[in-house]
Amino acid sequence: MKVKQISVFMENKSGRLAQITRVLGDADINILTLSLADTADFGILRLLVSDNEKAVRALKAAGFTVGENDVLAVDIPDRPGGLADFLELIGVNDINIEYMYAYRKGGKSILIFRFEDLDRAGKIFADTPFKLLSSEELYGLS
Amino acid sequence: MIWDEEFETMPREALDSLQAYRLRKIAERVYATVPFYKEAFDKAKIHPSRIKSLEDLKRLPFTNKTDLRDNYPFKLFTLPLHEVVRIHASSGTTGKPTVVGYTKRDIDTWSALMARTLSCAGVQKGDVVQNAYGYGLFTGGLGFHYGSEKLGATVIPISGGNTKRQIMIMEDFGSTVLVCTPSYALTIAEVMDEMGVKKERLKLRVGIFGAEPWSRNMRQQVETKLGIQAVDIYGLSEVIGPGVSVECIEAKNGLHIFEDHFIPEVIDPDTGESLPYGEAGELVFTTLTKEAFPVIRYRTKDITRLFPEPCRCGRTHVRMDRVTGRTDDMLIIRGVNFFPSQIESLLMDIEGLEPHYQIIVRREGTLDTLEVRIEVNEAVFSDEIRKLESLEKKVTGECREMLGISAKIKLVEPKTLQRFEGKAKRVIDERNIQ
Please indicate whether, in this complex, the C-beta atoms of B383 and A46 are within 8 angstroms of each other: yes
Contacts of A10 in chain B (CB under 8 A): 413
The candidate with the shortest Cα–Cα distance to B381, out of A118, A45, A49, is: A45
Q: What is the pLDDT of residues B106-147, one digit of tens each?
A: 999 999 999 999 999 999 999 999 999 999 999 999 999 999
Q: What is the DSSP letter of B274?
A: B
The candidate with the shortest Cα–Cα distance to A8, out of A33, A51, A37, A32, is: A37
Say which of A44, A64, A65 has its CB closest to residue B385: A44
**Inter-residue contact B239 to B109 (CB < 8 Å):** no
Q: What is the pLDDT of residues B322-353, one digit of tens each?
A: 988 888 777 878 777 788 888 888 888 887 77
pLDDT at B434 over 50: no
pTM of the model: 0.76
In degrees and rounded to multiples of 5, residue B72 shows phi and psi of: -60, 140
**By the CB < 8 Å criterion, does A99 face chain B?**
yes
Q: B192 in helix, strand or coil?
A: helix
The Cα angle at residue B369 between residues B429 and B381, in degrees rounded to 5: 90
pLDDT reported for residue A141: 67
pLDDT reported for residue B356: 84
Q: Is the dihedral of CA A4, A6, A7, A13 positive or negative?
A: negative
**By the CB < 8 Å criterion, does A66 face chain B?**
yes
pLDDT reported for residue B33: 97
**By the CB < 8 Å criterion, does A12 face chain B?**
no
Q: Are strands B255-257 and B319-320 parallel, antiparallel or unpaired?
A: antiparallel
pLDDT reported for residue B349: 81
pLDDT band at B431 (very low <50, low <70, confident <90, very high): confident
Closest-CA distance, B378 to chain A, in angstroms, reads 6
**Inter-residue contact A65 to A7 (CB < 8 Å):** no
Q: B157 in helix, strand or coil?
A: coil
The candidate with the shortest Cα–Cα distance to B62, out of B227, B231, B284, B254, is: B284
pLDDT reported for residue B94: 59
pLDDT reported for residue B432: 65
pLDDT at B292 over 70: yes
pLDDT reported for residue A108: 86
Crossing angle, helix B163-173 and helix B182-195, to 10 degrees? 80
Question: Between these two residues, A137 and B273, which has the higher pLDDT value?
Answer: B273
pLDDT reported for residue B341: 81
> Residue range A9-38: average pLDDT?
93
Say which of B378, B381, B411 has its CB closest to residue A41: B411
Please indicate whether, in this complex, the C-beta atoms of B413 and A63 are within 8 angstroms of each other: yes
Q: Could you tell me the CA-to-CA distances from A135 to A54, A72, A138, B54, B61 in Å, in that order? A: 15, 10, 5, 80, 78
Question: From A56, which residue of chain B is nearest by alpha-carbon distance?
Answer: B378
Of B109-113, B120-124, B313-317, B405-409, the least confident: B405-409
pLDDT reported for residue B133: 94
Q: What is the pLDDT of residues A37-86, one digit of tens each?
A: 988 889 999 999 999 999 999 999 998 999 999 999 999 988 999 899 99
Contacts of B381 in chain A (CB under 8 A): 7, 9, 65-67
Mean pLDDT of chain B: 92
**Inter-residue contact B266 to B52 (CB < 8 Å):** no
Q: What is the pLDDT of residues A68-77, one digit of tens each?
A: 999 999 999 8
Please indicate whether, in this complex, the C-beta atoms of A44 and B388 are within 8 angstroms of each other: yes
pLDDT at B95 over 90: no
Residues 369-408 of B with CB under 8 A from A: 376-378, 381-386, 388-389
pLDDT at B422 over 90: no
The Cα angle at residue A113 between residues A111 and A117, in degrees rounded to 5: 150
pLDDT reported for residue B81: 97
Instruction: Give the highest mean pLDDT range of B60-64, B215-219, B399-403.
Output: B60-64
Displacement of CA B241 from its chain's centroid (Å): 10
pLDDT reported for residue B248: 97
pLDDT reported for residue A56: 95
Q: What is the ipTM of this complex?
A: 0.84
Long-range contacts of B8-16 (CB under 8 A, 24+ apart): B8/B116, B8/B256, B8/B258, B8/B314, B8/B315, B8/B316, B8/B317, B9/B314, B9/B315, B9/B316, B10/B260, B10/B316, B11/B316, B12/B316, B15/B259, B15/B260, B15/B316, B15/B317, B16/B54
**Inter-residue contact B145 to B131 (CB < 8 Å):** yes
